[in-house]
Amino acid sequence: MEFLRGTNMDFAMLNVREKLDQLRWTLPKAAGRPTIIQLDPRSQPIMAISVSKGDLIKTKELAHHVFKRRLEQLKGMALAEVSGGLEREIQIDVDTRIRNSWSNSILLNHLLLWILMAI
């Protein structure tokens, strides 16, 4: 929804919330309660920067740990976000015979917890 300049947004949100509450019972039960989010046009992105290099994992880490941090330190910068690229991933394959024999084992749970903490 959009409102005219000068509209009292607290009052407008209250009205919208009341109307949605009246209609809420007509929605399917699985839909849950509607959420109202107030959007400030001044917080919209004003620039998008693209970074590319051969290794997508290292490039994303560089963008996150260097570029993002430096941009957020600039005066007047509200937020810098990194999207795209690849995330570092560790895959663990467990032998099914061993897993089946340890299915309810405390030892297996401790081993998996230890592996996850080491990552």
Note if the pTM is more than 0.75.
no
Tens digits of per-residue pLDDT, 24-57?
888 887 777 778 877 777 777 788 888 888 888 8
What is the largest distance, in Å, between two alpha-carbon atoms of the chain? 69
Tens digits of per-residue pLDDT, 65-92?
999 999 989 888 878 888 888 887 777 7
Hey, where are the domains in the chain?
1-39, 50-87, 89-119
Instruction: Give the end-to-end CA distance of the chain in Å, rounded to a whole number.
Output: 44
Q: What residue type is assigned to position 81 of the chain?
A: E
